[in-house]
Amino acid sequence: MIETAERRGPAIEPREIKQEGEAGLRITWADDTVCVYTAAELRRHCPCAQCVNEWTGQRVLQPESISDELTIADLSVVGRYALNFRWSDGHETGIYSFRYLRELGER
């Protein structure tokens, strides 16, 4: 079995990225795998330096501080490798690589 970190090609290439309602996201990957995410789930896993200590890798964001009612205020593609979200709580600094999103979708 190939480890997620070693994946190349279709496994981390999105074919379709679709916001579903105000708080959902669906990604269909090139290998036909479909991952569905909630805004709160993604926000709780934000990879930015405000949410994860850059030196230790320890998560500093307390997951319970994120409301289940959180919504996606805006969504944009970053280059050909990631997504950026603006959340209803005003946070917008996280860059979610396609690799990271695929890993989250398989948890």
> Which domain does 57 fall in, by range?
4-105
Q: Where does the pLDDT of residue 107 fall: very low under 50, low under 70, confident under 90, or very high at 90 and above?
A: confident
Task: Tell me the three state secondary structure of residue 7.
Answer: coil
- Chain segment 49-58, per-residue pLDDT in tens: 999 999 999 9
Q: What is residue 4's predicted lDDT score, i.e. its pLDDT?
A: 41
Q: What are the tens digits of pLDDT across the range 19-47?
A: 999 999 999 999 999 999 999 999 999 99
The pLDDT of residue 11 is 77
Average pLDDT, whole number, for the chain?
A: 92
pLDDT, position 35: 97
The number of folded domains in the chain is 1
Residue 101, Cβ density class (10 Å: 0-12 exposed, 13-18 middle, ≥19 buried): buried
CB contact at 8 A, 95 and 48: yes
Paired with 16 in beta bridges are 28
CATH code for the domain in which residue 23 is found: 3.30.2020.30
